[in-house]
């Protein structure tokens, strides 16, 4: 299983009225790392022919993240079917290693030319294994 991770430092723009990272920001981080992962591993020839759309999303908030915390965001593919992929995203406080939030998202593989769902190709599966 190939993973991708990077760190984000919490800024005032990430905070809600309680001075915690806003729930919408966590959702944006989930979406952002999925996109970065695809962009990083897929060659342009594959990206020209295929893309992913989000089908469902669940997120569990475990600990509050606050101003100046560094959050390690990590993603990997849990499972794939013929046309869908289940992606995990985990967010940890880099200093304490405590789990801050975790998410599972289900993505549908799409043909860029027909704009319709299509089978995940062996080449694409290999990108994430």
Dump pLDDT digits (tens) for 7-47.
999 999 999 999 999 999 999 999 999 999 999 999 999 99
Q: 51-76: per-residue pLDDT in tens?
A: 999 999 999 999 999 999 999 999 99
Contact 1, 125 (CB under 8 A): no
Q: What domain count does the chain have?
A: 1
Q: Which of 46, 42, 102, 50 is nearest to 71 (CA)?
A: 102
Both structure tokens of 121: 């190709």
Beta strands, E only, the chain: 4-9, 50-61, 70-80, 84-93, 99-111, 116-117
In which domain, by residue range, is 58 found? 4-128
Six-digit token string for 119: 């089978």
Alpha-carbon span 17 to 7, nearest angstrom: 23
CATH number, domain at 76?
3.10.129.10
């Amino acid at each position: 299983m190939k993973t991708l991770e990077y760190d984000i430092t919490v800024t005032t723009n990430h905070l809600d009225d309680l001075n915690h990272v806003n729930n919408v920001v966590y959702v944006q981080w989930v979406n952002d790392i999925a996109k970065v992962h695809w962009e990083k591993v897929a060659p342009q020839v594959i990206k020209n022919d295929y893309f992913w759309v989000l089908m469902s999303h669940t997120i569990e908030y475990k600990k509050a993240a606050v101003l100046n915390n560094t959050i390690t965001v990590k993603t990997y593919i849990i499972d794939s079917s013929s046309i869908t992929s289940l992606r995990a995203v985990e967010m940890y406080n880099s200093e304490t290693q405590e789990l801050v939030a975790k998410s599972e998202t289900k993505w549908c593989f799409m043909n860029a030319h027909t704009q319709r769902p299509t089978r995940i190709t062996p080449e694409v599966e290999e990108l994430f294994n």
